[in-house]
Amino acid sequence: MNISPIPASACAASAIAYPAVFGAEILNLSANLVLNYSSEVSDQYYFNNPSISVRNIDYCNVTVTYTHPGQNDTINVETWLPMKNWNGRLQATGGGGYVAGRFFLSYTAMAGAVGNGYVATTTDGGIGLSLVPDPWALNSPGNVDLYALQNFASVSLKDQAIIAKEIIKEFYGQPAEYSYYTGCSQGGRQGMMLAQRYPEAYDGIAAAAPAFNWARLFPALAWPQVMMELTGQFPPKCELDAVTAGAIATCDPQDGVTDGIISDPAACSFDPFSMVGKVVSCDNETTTISNAAATIANLTWTGPRKASGDFLYYGLDYQSRLTGSGDQSTTAALGLAMTSCSSNGTCVGSPAGLGEAWLKFMVKKDPNWDFSKIISIEEYARLFQASAQEFDSIFGTFDTDLSAFRDAGGKMITYHGTADGLILRQGTNEYYDRVTEQTPNVKDFFRYFEVPGLAHCAGGVGGQPTATFQALVDWVEKGVVPDTLPINFKDTNGTQYERILCPYPEKAQLVSADLDATKAESYKCGL
């Protein structure tokens, strides 16, 4: 698409008509010209894409503020429109944790998008920019702000697509040729919600490590901390990390290549209690792995269960960092079994604040309640079930009927790391299995890739699939089916590996032990 450079005078609120959104009232539209914008965009935050150096971009920042009359809400949609070299496409970005968008992850992705010639857009979902739900979750003790939750869950996503597309038509005098959505974690859930509930909103969706089945997932995220409180066992980070390392060492060679990665978690069998009594070194000190460390690791891997042992939800994978990455500046670096220890060796739980906050505000609806007040597994199971009963229909995002998205011509790519320490990979597997049962031709429009060794959205040891978004574009626009995705990484010894990712349930398999295991051509996809 050849678009002439847009004059600076076009970036003015008076030059842009209010978009029409059924059920909404536009309160304000602002337009600000941003000149010579530059940014270093890391693939660690621009999920689904490679890193990019953005240089000297001029764009118009159009922010639309609106409300749904009668709901007492205020929502902002921010859209960045390149003043020249627009590629004719829209790229919407998602949020993370308890944030719908318009925070640093969204802005990082938007910077990458405009650097690649896209119009970029984000929404705050009407809940603001707090990383925790405390400011917006309750109208009053006992009463969830259901309009805010509904906006966060779904409605703002529909509105965002409508508003961004309307602004594009006003600004450039023609609509976008193609529209895309990209996100991970909460952003992945948002992408899934769009495919399920608003199938015509975007032509292509890249939804990585999706936090769907939220009403069950989020109580499950609190399980390790609840069990530490109930059992009175708070193992230090060193011991839990050593148990994880033991699992990796046991199962890493199973695929014929020792590279620090458990390639097939389902084939891995490891007994954490085999590590009890072993002496390990941490920070130049030695410690002995306790029964407590094995117990908490085992409970976290097994996942939530009723007192009877009946299944509630999945646990983490063996390679997931139970204690986080150390740098806890983002939710992606958090761990579900984190503890904090004093100089005298006394340890306490250090909750990630995701599942615990959900139980407090949405299930108990009491800002003064604390998860440590749970007195039994039976009580935990009751809270888990209450969450599912009350919020599955609002926030679950687990509708497996994607026929409307398929019929609209949409394409979607999902990936999930086998070392994800926050969002439970097996939940994504279950969803894809169920979609496949309902729609046998699912791979014609929706493909899911497991990523061995990848942590939550980014990080870990197995590399990050940064070619995902471009593969999506090629699928939508050129009909190029993503039979594999490329990936590369360095192991702990610094050896460079090139691999392929295979569409689930297939896995990359070394063709022969005689071949070079560091080369992508030495692998094929198989069951």
Q: Quick count: other Cβ atoms within 10 Å of Cβ 80?
A: 24
Catalytic residue among 106, 185, 387, 522: 185
Q: Output DSSP code: residue 439.
A: -
Q: Is the peptide bond before 505 cis (omega within 30 degrees of 0)?
A: yes
Catalytic residue among 179, 259, 317, 456: 456
Q: Residue written as tokens 């089916």?
A: 481
Helix/strand/coil (H/E/C) assignment for every residue in 355-420: HHHHHHHHHHCCCCCCHHHCCCHHHHHHHHHHHHHHHHHHHCCCCCCCHHHHHCCCEEEEEEECCC
d(C-alpha 312, C-alpha 427), whole Å: 12
What is the torsion angle, in degrees rounded to the nearest 10, for the CA atoms of residue 223, residue 226, residue 227 and residue 231? 180
Listed in sequence order, the residues at least 6 apart from 481 whose beta carbon sits closer than 8 Å to its beta carbon are: 475
**Active-site residue flag, 456:** yes
**Active-site residue flag, 350:** no
Q: Quick count: other Cβ atoms within 10 Å of Cβ 519?
A: 12
**Active-site residue flag, 185:** yes
Catalytic residue among 145, 259, 420, 491: 420
Query: What amino acid occupies position 527?
Result: L
d(C-alpha 246, C-alpha 322), whole Å: 13
d(C-alpha 34, C-alpha 489), whole Å: 37
Give the DSSP per-residue string, 310-353: -B-S----TTS-TT--S--SSGGG--TT-EEE-TTS-EEE---S
User: What phi, psi does 513 have (nearest 5°)?
Assistant: -65, -15
Using CA atoms, how far residue 452 sits from 186, 455, 464, in Å, is 21, 9, 10
Q: Which residues are catalytic?
A: 185, 420, 456
